[in-house]
Copies of this chain bind each other. A is one copy, B any other.
């Protein structure tokens, strides 16, 4: 493990700034003040959550971004994070790029690395982030009310488009049916994962997959405006389902209003709908708010330079209904609504 002295070179950044005591003792110490703490953890495994050939700087960014996205969805202010890594070997160039991508996002998010652990093993990145919230203002999943507007930030579907195009190209090269390669959770061979993205994947879609932007400023700005929020990691339909289930309500989703990632215009309508509703990895926020908060929320979007779109309403039902602009049901994979348990 001597080689892991390398780790120190790339991850030891001198005295702590936010922490009272940083890396080097049994624990880091962080002054939480008189606050509520928001904590979340995510583990990323090669071949499952990211392609084996992913640029390490992008991987460093994304590993932190998906965790920060959870803080954003609570409206929390980032404080710090821990990073536990299993690495097959100590590759200096890899570590340099990974740490650069990681710290670039950490620094501009005000989220300090306060602890870590490194071991040899199959590549595994396990991060825990924690943030601070004034008491009682968290954007929980269970606060949506019938009559609330349903909002999403940014544009959806880009990340999923890049993943699907890559799986389809891999499948075609192997004479397989693309649908049997369902996504990063599908257990595809390591060899297939190294074939790269097809050249026709829009750069913007690839950027959405590899460099998602956690919506931290939006989350904090929504503290007293949104009634509930969730981040979009698994796809709008699934994540909205979680929100409705926890809030014990239903939703009417106006599918034509769902903002799509530019660059997907050339796709047919069915594919676009599928990406918009079930494409994951967007890390945008889905949130609800009383209609009287619309002007203030629109102003936040303008100040942040971020599209914020009303895509439907919360209702008192127990399902998500997909409708068009004339309130007619829209069929999606044979269904016009999505039940949840």
Contact = CB atoms under 8 A, between A and B. Distances in A.
B39 A131 contact: no
Q: Give the residue among A32, A34, A185 with the most B Cβ atoms within 10 A.
A: A32
Nearest to A219: B26
B122 A39 contact: no
A39 B130 contact: yes
Interface residues of A, number: 64
Contacts of A71: 26-27
A43 to B, nearest CB: 4
Contacts of A69: 26
Contacts of A114: 39
A138 interface: yes
A142 B76 CA distance: 32
Q: Give the residue among A20, A74, A83, A126 with the most B Cβ atoms within 10 A.
A: A126
B38 A35 contact: no
A76 B36 CA distance: 18
A32 B41 contact: no
A48 interface: yes
A135 interface: yes
Given A41-B128, A45-B119, A32 B24 contact: no
Interface string A187-209: 10000000000000000000000
Interface in A245-301: 246
A308 interface: no
Contacts of A84: 41-43, 126, 128
Task: State the copy count for this chain.
Answer: 2
Contact of A42 (B117, B121, B133): B117
A82 B37 contact: no
Interface in A82-127: 82-86, 114-122, 124, 126
B246 A26 contact: no
Interface in A37-56: 37-43, 45, 48-49
Contact of A124 (B42, B116, B126): B126
B27 A38 contact: yes
Nearest to A21: B140
Contacts of A116: 41
A158 interface: no
A115 B140 CA distance: 15
B26 A73 contact: yes
A219 to B, nearest CB: 9
Contacts of A140: 21, 25
A7 interface: no
A141 interface: yes
Contact of A37 (B31, B118, B141, B185): B31
30 contacts: A20-B36, A21-B138, A21-B140, A25-B140, A25-B142, A26-B40, A26-B73, A26-B141, A27-B70, A27-B71, A27-B76, A27-B131, A29-B37, A29-B38, A29-B133, A39-B130, A40-B82, A41-B117, A42-B117, A43-B85, A45-B119, A48-B121, A49-B119, A84-B128, A117-B126, A121-B122, A121-B124, A122-B124, A126-B126, A130-B130
